[in-house]
Amino acid sequence: MFYNLKIVKVLILVLFVSIVNLYSSLAYCDKVEVKNIRFWSSKEYTRVVVDLTNPVEYLGKRLSNPDRLFFDLKGTFLSKAVKTSLDIKDGILRSIRVGQYSSDTVRVVLDIEVIKDYQVFILDNPVRFVIDVYGEGRTSKMDMQLPKRRVVIDPGHGGHDPGAVGPNGLFEKDVVLDIALKLKKELEANSLYDVFLTRDKDVFIPLEERTAFANKMSADLFVSIHANASPRREAKGIETYLLNWTDDEEAMRVAARENAISLRKMKAMNQKMDIVKVIMDDLFRQIKRDESIKLAHYVQNSLIKNCENRYNLGVKQALFYVLFGARMPSVLIEVSFISNPEEEELLSEDEYRFKIAKAIYEGIEKYFVSLPSFQKFAVTMN
């Protein structure tokens, strides 16, 4: 009898724990999970990324005594796996703190050392809440007379993300990596360049990490290399993009593919005022946009001239995730259509890839030579 009573007590306890767990699960089932906090840091720039299971509404504000930024993520709950305090101490931020502020709100707090400005935006698939914070030392290097120029080359896709795949099985990730390595070699042959790759092998790098790397390296240029694709097998040609709002459906289609989201979501993002505000609020937007346009035209013209007069699709603009938050002139190049059998064949050839790399190099060189700082430096050297 005593033995049976003990079993009953154990069963009741198990049932109670199960009910508590079920209640907790139901309480969170309609909420967005805050899965992780990541950051990339330098003396002039810090990017904080909050990984989420779905988009959220948020409220942000700067407070004093002590100086800090906070962001309340509505309708969210904090995963037990998230580290609730991260030390930064990079001269911009002291630390990051996160906690369950209320039953349906997670609060993220950035403890400030010294900042000049910041911007916030949400990216999709996977969903992440991005905070870019800029230190007082951030300057535009366009007017600085520096003999060395830093170029960050970004080969698109990689690892488990092959990018577009040609009709004969050619992977975009392999093509663009080879072109990037060739371009790096061309640039490094000129002693005026320091060159960095976001990836130099077949690995996956999140889009937000690529831009953060360019900012952390204080790059003068950011060049992202991709191969295009279309449901229309006859689509062909070369085009170069810069970051800006667009109502051109074909440009949105290209951006949607590179952002790994649907065209429907891409169109919706173009209507979001917070995304437009991120671009409009950029303190260096005007100079960055003008310099990006100039760079895009130099590169595009060089590609068309040197790559067997390929079909010229021109310079365009769209909202590419990989260009969000870049603090330097930046472009995304679609070197040819891997979905077109003829252009896939060309992209599989080492000689054609070298022509592309050489053409991008010449475009970059023409851009830098056009800058007043380089012209002054050339006069000094002579």
165 forms beta bridges with 171
The closest of 127, 37, 19, 21 to 78, measured between CA atoms, is 37
- Within 8 A by CB and 6+ apart from 51, the residues are 34, 35, 36, 37, 38, 126, 127, 128
CATH code that applies to domain 141-381: 3.40.630.40
- Tell me the helices (H) and strands (E) count for the chain, helix number first: 10, 16
Architecture of domain 32-134: Sandwich (2.60)
Torsion angle of C-alpha atoms 370, 371, 375, 381, degrees rounded to 10: -110
Dist. CA 365–CA 334, nearest whole Å: 19
How confident is the prediction along the chain (382 residues), in pLDDT tens digits per residue? 545 666 656 566 656 555 545 444 444 557 999 999 999 988 889 999 999 999 999 999 999 999 999 999 999 999 999 999 999 999 999 999 999 999 999 999 999 999 988 989 889 889 999 999 998 764 444 444 456 899 999 999 999 999 999 999 999 999 999 999 999 999 999 989 999 999 999 999 999 999 999 999 999 999 999 999 999 999 999 999 999 888 899 999 999 999 999 998 888 877 764 555 565 555 455 567 889 999 999 999 999 999 876 799 999 999 999 999 898 999 999 999 999 999 999 999 999 999 999 999 999 999 999 987 655 444 444 4
Give domain limits for the chain: 32-134, 141-381
Question: Whole-prediction pTM value?
Answer: 0.82
Beta-sheet pairing, 85-87 with 93-102: antiparallel
Dist. CA 276–CA 245, nearest whole Å: 7
Please name the residue ranges forming H helices in the chain.
2-28, 172-188, 207-216, 249-259, 263-270, 273-281, 285-306, 341-347, 350-370, 372-381
| Confidence (pLDDT) at 139 | 46
Dist. CA 366–CA 295, nearest whole Å: 9
